[in-house]
Chains A and B, each alone.
Chain A
Amino acid sequence: MKREDKTMSKFRLITDGLVKNNPTFVLLLGMCPTLATTTSAINGMSMGLATLFVLVLSNMAISALAPVVPDKVHIPVYIVVIATFVTLLQLLMQAFTPAMYETLGLFIPLIVVNCIVLGRAEAFANKHGVLESACDGLGVGLGFTCSLTVLGLVREILGSGSAFGWNFIGGHDGMLAFVMAPGAFLCLGYLMVLFNKLFKK
């Protein structure tokens, strides 16, 4: 059990999740919620924040549990832990943000099988301490949130002529294609190009 990169600072962990390990534009993980929920900036951001919540908590719980979990059952244990946090989130959203819960609907329970969450548990949380895992979850979660917000914003501007719900073309229709699935793929593709151009040498 080797701890890699002992010198890696907490801050570095967070920025890594935002840029170098950006789940959407670099790792291409969690494409299902990314494409499906980013019909507007607000929706994208809420989905990102919901995932962030689960990611931070599950990363912490799993890094704490990892030393006692037998190898052969580690995936079931992780899934149970993740599912618990997701269900918790679902109940809380239903109780306190019912409108948002309705919009995101099906995609909240689907966080359980979001590969980002299990991916971070496998790749990071079970090898690192609780605090580091929390930072990693925060970083990757923020990366996911930012990407989804940007993607949602672009699609909202092109597709419905508004930004964060504020309409600037006076009630006319935008280019509807961008609100639908094809537009999601197009926007994602171009944003990915842009992101890699800006941040990769």
Chain B
Amino acid sequence: MAVKSNLTNMVLVLGLTCLFCSAVLGGAYVLTKEPIAAAAAEKTNKAIAQVLPHFTDVEYNEEGRYYKATDGEAVVGYAIESTTVGFGGPLSLIVGVTPDGVVYNTSVLSHAETPGLGAKCTSDNKFMDQWRGFNPSVKKLSVTKDGGDVDAITASTITSRAYTLAVDNALKAFSVISGNSSVISSEVEKSNEEGGQDNE
């Protein structure tokens, strides 16, 4: 390894190494581009299928970031992407709403919550199941600590609030999309800013 350094060989070796490496990576990028896109698309499709009842066709609205699912002529529901800030970073959900304004189901697209605490929003059945058929006109959309009807994940109030807020935003988006203004929900936003003794 004792090659004496001079300007020519330094420039040459480093330059060639970089050139070669970028060529390899360029090739790898082109080769993996399709599988990566396919994997991402599959993930989204799975998420939509999970949050909506059976549908045959789905149409993406780029501007509103929602999917409109139809079965034949009838609109089955909307799968709405919604992102809020959780404890560890952005918390992205997809919320399925049926045309009557009831949440069909929710699913987490990505999150950065603490494993074992906030990350339970993807595995805690008790927390996840309460979103199935959540009707915002009957139940109050905020965590119980803030006087609502959403049971927070143990020791993860901030994550639960963020999740609730994301659902709330999705429902607001839904009322705009469908022109159904009867869906007005609670004061999650306000309570989200209030302090108090909170765990995550």
Contact = CB atoms under 8 A, between A and B. Distances in A.
Interface of A: 1, 39-40, 65-74, 76-77, 80-81, 83-84, 87-88, 91-92, 94-96, 98, 102, 126-127, 159-160, 171, 173-174, 176, 179-180
Interface in B24-45: 24-25, 28-29, 32, 35-36, 39-40, 43
Given A70-B4, A71-B3, A80-B17, A95 B10 contact: no
Contact of A180 (B40, B114, B125): B114
Contact of B1 (A74, A81, A87, A102): A74
Interface of B: 1-6, 9-10, 13-14, 17-18, 21, 24-25, 28-29, 32, 35-36, 39-40, 43, 110, 114-117, 125, 154-155
Contacts of A91: 25, 28-29, 32, 36
Nearest to B25: A87
B21 A81 contact: yes
Contact of A73 (B10, B43, B116): B10
Contacts of A40: 115
A95 B4 contact: no
Contacts of B29: 91
Contacts of B40: 98
B174 to A, nearest CB: 27
25 contacts: A67-B1, A70-B9, A70-B13, A73-B5, A77-B13, A77-B14, A77-B17, A80-B14, A81-B17, A81-B21, A84-B24, A91-B29, A91-B36, A94-B36, A95-B32, A95-B36, A96-B35, A98-B40, A126-B1, A127-B1, A174-B116, A176-B116, A176-B155, A179-B116, A179-B117
Contacts of A174: 116
Contact of A80 (B1, B18, B43, B125): B18
A92 B1 CA distance: 32
B1 A98 contact: no
Nearest to A176: B116
A88 B110 contact: no
A87 B22 CA distance: 10
A159 B32 contact: no
B10 A88 contact: no
A201 B35 CA distance: 51
A73 B6 CA distance: 10
A174 B155 CA distance: 13
B47 to A, nearest CB: 13
B6 A70 contact: yes
Nearest to A177: B116
Q: Which 5 pairs between the two chains have the least Cβ-Cβ distance?
A: A179-B116, A95-B35, A72-B5, A70-B5, A84-B21
A84 B29 CA distance: 12
B65 to A, nearest CB: 20
A71 B1 contact: yes
A32 B40 CA distance: 29
Contact of B24 (A65, A66, A72, A88): A88
B116 A71 contact: no
A7 to B, nearest CB: 22
